[in-house]
Structures are given as C-alpha cells and as structure tokens.
Amino acid sequence: MSAPASHPSMSPAQQLRALLDEPTCHIMPCAFDALSARMIAQAGFDVGFMTGFGVSASRIGQPDVGLISYGEMLDSGRNICAAAPTLPLIGDGDTGYGNAVNVKRTVKGYAQAGFAGVMIEDQLAPKRCGHTKGKQVVERAEAIDRIKAAVDAREEGADILIMARTDARHDHGLDEALERAQAFKQAGADILFVEAPRTIEELKTIAAAVPHKHMANMIEGGQTPLVDAERLHAMGFHLAAYPLSLLSAAANAMMKALTSLKEGVPPTDLVLDFEDLKRCVGFDDYYAEDERYQSR
C-alpha cells in the first residue's frame, strides 16, 4: 500500500488534532526505528507512535528501565519522523528527563524533530515499561507540574500536542490514577493515558470518569485486556496503541531465522522476496528521484 496523502497546509500537530476529532478510535502501530516507521506509513495507517521500549531495545540493546538518554531518544525520533514525513507521530518523552525545565526542553526538542505529539509520564526516574515490575510514580503535585511545563512549552510556540500519562494505577489504584488524569486535563493536556488498567470495567471507567481524548495501550501479554478498536471507541477512546506488535513480530522472525541458519538451513520461508524488500526500504523511490537528474 502507498503512504497516506500528506497535508501540506497542516502541520503534524494539526493533522493529529483533526484525527482526534474524528468519530473513531484510530489504531496506532508503534515504530522502533526508521524502517518500521516507514512501513507503518506504507501500510496506510493514519497515525503512529515512537515506542520507548522499542527504541531502547533496538538502539542500545537494553530493556526499557531508564537507561536510554534524552539525546538518544531525540536522535532516533528525528530519524523516525524523517522516514515517515506524511505520518503524524507521537513520541515517547518518558518523564521529560529531569525537572519541569527539562520537560519543557524535551517537548520543544520533540516538536523540532517533527513529532505531532509527545507523551510525558509521572513515573519516578529511572522509569520503566508500564507493564513490568518495579515502577513508581512521583507525588501528584510534581506530576501535575510536569504536565504544566509541557503545556507551557506548547503555549510558548512548540507546535505539538501533549499526552499526559499516569502509572498510578500500579501502586495507588485506579481512583488515584483518575484524579491525576483529571488534574492533567485541567492543566491543559490534549490527550490522557491511564496506563495498565486491569479489566474491561476499568477501561470503561477511565473515559467515562474523565471525558477527554484518551489513548489505550494494547500490549500482547500485558496487564490490560486486548480490546478491538470498535469497542474501545464505544468506551470513549480515540487512540489504540500497539507498542510491541512490530518489535515482537520482528524479533520472533529473527529468532526463527537465526535458529534456521544455525542448523545450516537458509530461512527462505521467513524472508521477503528481494524485490519486495527493496521496495519496502525505498529503492524504487530513490531510482525515480535519481532519474529526474540524469543527463539527457
């Protein structure tokens, strides 16, 4: 499939705002590098996300436990946005990489990189994947200050939407998570993300308790039940992120290919046809562009 048509008169943030106003829940595959972002756009999706879990895994070969830096995430973000220029993307900004002033710098940096939105969360550093053990959150006042700083960066000219995430459900229960979500909404967040609800009933409660634009996180094998986009829309969700689907599928295929090679058997049943692979990474586009500048 070809990438969706670009909107030259709209910035990525404006495109994302328009998508959020549509009466649907958009499926949002998550990119972990430039190629996966390019493939999301080629597949015709309307919106994508840069996953911190995936970038940490693919860039530094380490788990999502706060080891990757702002600079590394920003550099990966620039490459991801450049590889899919027609696709509005939300970037994982983790905790903002420091205090409120750092949050503002993170938001401005992500906007300059080309992101349509940035996610800022309330975890205590070093942060970790929302569906793994050991995560903790900062006090509510500090969490709100992070979102206020992010919103200030937006109001000061950063053309980007703010997604406010809370992980309070883990240790403090759903009620505290909802209180934080309400406070984030009042602080000016564009999108709310209550991480890791445990049941369908909790999913239903989130959007009903705090009416706003909401994202649901659909992790295969995670703590939240997997729900299709139609049902999520009926519950009040606007985005359904699939943060590990592409990374996990790629890792699964690579593990099988390596096992096959170890046994001395080429993994022909696992690989793309070479012509399809070349199209996927952009050889056809390059040749067409190069042809324009050939001497006649």
Check: CB of residue 33 under 8 Å from CB of residue 80. Answer: yes
Check: CB of residue 93 under 8 Å from CB of residue 153. Answer: no
The per-residue pLDDT of the chain, averaged, comes to 94
For the purposes of burial, counting CB atoms within 10 Å of the CB of 269, is it exposed (0-12), middle (13-18) or buried (19 or more)? exposed
Q: What is the pLDDT of residue 9?
A: 84
Local structure of 93: helix, strand or coil: coil
Pick out the chain residues at pLDDT < 70: 1-8, 128, 130-134, 296
d(CA 156, CA 158): 6
Cα angle for residues 74, 30, 38 (degrees, 5° grid): 80
Q: What is the pLDDT of residue 5?
A: 44
Q: What is the pLDDT of residues 81-105, one digit of tens each?
A: 999 999 999 999 999 999 999 999 9
| Assigned token pair, 284 | 């056809």
The helix or strand, by DSSP H or E, that contains position 163, with its residue range, turns out to be: strand 161-166
User: In whole angstroms, what separates CA 122 from the centre of its chain?
Assistant: 16
Check: CB of residue 51 under 8 Å from CB of residue 155. Answer: no
- Residue ranges of domains in the chain, CATH in brackets: 12-252 (3.20.20.60)
Backbone angles phi, psi at 193, to 5 degrees: -140, 105
Position 260, amino acid: S
Q: What is the pLDDT of residue 127?
A: 77
Q: What is the pLDDT of residue 208?
A: 96
Q: What is the pLDDT of residue 1?
A: 37
d(CA 214, CA 167): 14
Q: What is the pLDDT of residue 214?
A: 98
- Shortest CA distance to 112 belongs to which of 153, 52, 58, 144? 153
Local structure of 137: helix, strand or coil: strand
Q: What is the pLDDT of residue 112?
A: 98
Q: What is the pLDDT of residue 124?
A: 87
Q: What is the pLDDT of residue 129?
A: 72
| pTM, rounded to two decimals | 0.93
**First-residue to last-residue Cα distance in the chain:** 32
Q: What is the pLDDT of residue 130?
A: 56
Cis peptide before 211 (omega within 30 of 0): no
Q: What is the pLDDT of residue 294?
A: 87
